[in-house]
Amino acid sequence: DAGVTQSPTHLIKTRGQQVTLRCSPKSGHDTVSWYQQALGQGPQFIFQYYEEEERQRGNFPDRFSGHQFPNYSSELNVNALLLGDSALYLCASSLGYARLSYEQYFGPGTRLTVT
Amino acid sequence: AQRVTQPEKLLSVFKGAPVELKCNYSYSGSPELFWYVQYSRQRLQLLLRHISRESIKGFTADLNKGETSFHLKKPFAQEEDSAMYYCALGEGYGNNRLAFGKGNQVVVIP
């Protein structure tokens, strides 16, 4: 099991553009969370998907949206990119939403640079 | 407002010396606390969680609700402990979303 995988590894976009990041959860996991990690900061929760629906959301604008597919993989979309969106975007998967689930497995991240 | 505070950004210790990383939290409910670690060129991974009350790689952490703290300790630092350490608070439904502190960079000097 490769664990949580993310693609691409890194990308560069221009202000105003749109970007899509992808995540495949660890085998057997059904819940996917996305985090943004700015340089020198801890990860910040964006949102969480379970059963193809957004279940929880952090303090991020509507420019940030997502999707979960029937195979539990997920996408993070960011529209109208700002320079401040430059960060490492982490995907984490876990098992179960309705029951308490404590361990989240993180992917290697996608480094997004907005110029 | 910062819900998890890790006051020291960089901590340098000599091999064999004790390590203590401080973490304070702010949460109105019953907290679930975790320590995550990121070694060089590796992904973020769970080190330990307070409900397990276990020692991982010699590290322990005790939840002190009175002081709202969850400090990470190890009596004798090893070179392989050099890493970035994040304290995290489980929030939301099922405590399944994490609020992280800013992290501590630990450097163990041989």
Q: What is the CATH number of the domain that holds B103?
A: 2.60.40.10
Q: What is the mean pLDDT of residues B44-69?
A: 89
* Contact list, A100 vs chain B (CB under 8 Å): 94-96
Q: Is residue B47 part of a domain?
A: no
Which residues 38-57 of A are in CB contact (within 8 Å) with B? 40-45, 48, 55-56
Q: Is residue B35 part of a domain?
A: yes
Q: Is residue B72 part of a domain?
A: no
Count other Cβ atoms within 10 Å, centred on residue A58: 18
Give the pLDDT confidence of A70-92 residue by residue, as tens digits: 999 999 999 999 999 999 999 99
Q: How many angstroms away from the CA of A6 is the closest CA of chain B?
A: 12
Q: Any idea where the domains of chain A sit in the sequence?
A: 5-109
Q: Is residue B87 part of a domain?
A: yes
Interface residue B43 vs chain A (CB under 8 A): yes
Q: Is residue B30 part of a domain?
A: yes
Pairwise CA distance, residues A69 & A64, whole Å = 17
Give the pLDDT confidence of B90-101 residue by residue, as tens digits: 887 666 789 999
Q: How many angstroms away from the CA of B72 is the closest CA of chain A?
A: 17
Domain range for residue B28? 1-42+83-110
At B50 the three-state DSSP class reads helix
> Are the Cβ atoms of B98 and A108 closer than 8 angstroms?
no
Q: What is the CATH number of domain A5-109?
A: 2.60.40.10
Average pLDDT score over chain B: 91
The answer to whether residues B15 and B109 touch, using CB atoms and an 8 Å cutoff, is: yes
Interface residue B4 vs chain A (CB under 8 A): yes
Pairwise CA distance, residues A109 & A36, whole Å = 9
Give the pLDDT confidence of B14-34 residue by residue, as tens digits: 999 999 999 999 988 778 899
- Is A42 a residue whose pLDDT tops 90? yes
Which of the residues A34, A41, A45 would you substitute to probe the B interface, choosing the one with the greatest number of B C-beta atoms within 10 Å?
A45
Count other Cβ atoms within 10 Å, centred on residue B76: 12
Q: What region, left, alpha or beta, does residue B36 occupy, with left being phi > 0 and alpha being psi -120 to 50 degrees?
A: beta
Q: Is residue B57 part of a domain?
A: no
Which of the residues B44, B47, B53 would you substitute to probe the A interface, choosing the one with the greatest number of A C-beta atoms within 10 Å?
B44
Q: Look at residue B96 in the predicted model and tell me its pLDDT.
A: 77
Per the structure, the count of domains in chain B is 1
